[in-house]
Amino acid sequence: MSLKQRLQEEMKVALRAREEGRLRLDTLRLVLAAIRNAEIERRRELTDPEVVEVIAREVRQREEALAEFERGQRPDLVEKTRAEIAVLREYLPEPLSEAEIRDLARQAIAQVGATGPRDMGKVMQALMPKVKGRADGRLVSQVVRELLGEG
């Protein structure tokens, strides 16, 4: 069963659960709509890795909104947004730890023969496909910068 099919099945379960699954149902509907929009844009069905990208983008958007809600002192929206993020994270692969990112970055640096900060683009190009959907791009970039600065 593909990830998209799993989302659709779980949306049906949430629909049958009525009020108990309301937040879950709304969140799944929104992410399925985002997936459909991406499919329309690309004019084809998305693969599981592409669906993971869409879900990760939805999580990022909610994390950014969460920061704004906290600054605006909106505890109702903070709670709702955190719950939505928790629902979406169930469908993402286990995130990489910083140590795992460092190991993969060192491998990518060795693979492309990077010697300094000038080679950051090459390293990121080799590294990002390995961490896609499992690590925040900003963290990956920061780790690569640190490692290239050392070298």
Other CB atoms within 10 A of residue 128 CB: 15
Please identify, in words, the CATH class of the domain defined by 98-150.
mainly alpha
Q: 17: Cβ–Cβ under 8 A, 6 or more apart, which residues?
A: 24, 25
pLDDT digits (tens, 9 = 90+) for 6-61: 999 999 999 988 777 699 999 999 999 999 999 999 999 999 989 999 999 999 99
Q: In Å, how far are 21, 56, 97, 138, 146 from 100, measured between CA atoms? A: 35, 19, 5, 15, 15
Domain boundaries, the chain: 3-89, 98-150
pTM confidence score: 0.79
Q: Which CATH code is given to the segment(s) 3-89?
A: 1.10.1510.10
pLDDT digits (tens, 9 = 90+) for 53-111: 999 999 999 999 999 999 999 999 999 999 999 999 999 999 899 999 999 999 999 99
